[in-house]
Amino acid sequence: MIKLIAIEPKPEAKVHLRFSDGSHGVYDFSHFLAANTEMTAPLKDPAFFRRCFIEAGALAWPNGFDLSARSLQRALAEAGRLERDPAAA
């Protein structure tokens, strides 16, 4: 089971994600901000966005919005933005 092991918020609604299998990438959350739903609207505030954390291997925010590590990894792979550390291969 893939889990997030480290995260680092970046400018412009991005987060560098590191996964338990050694893969990593920078995920752009701008499409979530554009959706402007009840759960994603708070992420528009940069201070709130930076409050992301790992909960049970998933990416989460204090308002209850969360995304599984597997879905994030899959999206990065499909976008061609998932990298793998040579040592993890």
For the domain that residue 33 is a member of, what is the CATH number? 3.30.2020
Secondary element (H or E) of residue 78: helix 69-78
Give the structural domain span for 72.
4-88
Q: pLDDT at position 85, please?
A: 80
pTM of the full structure = 0.93
Number of domains, the chain: 1
Q: Write the secondary structure of 25-67 as one string of H (helix), E (strand) and C (coil).
A: EEEECHHHHHHCCCCCHHHHCHHHHCCCEEECCEEECCCCCEE
Question: Which is nearest to 6 in space by CA: 50, 20, 14, 43?
Answer: 20
pLDDT-based confidence at residue 89 (cuts at 50, 70, 90): low
Residues 36-66: tens digit of each pLDDT: 999 999 999 999 999 999 999 999 999 999 9
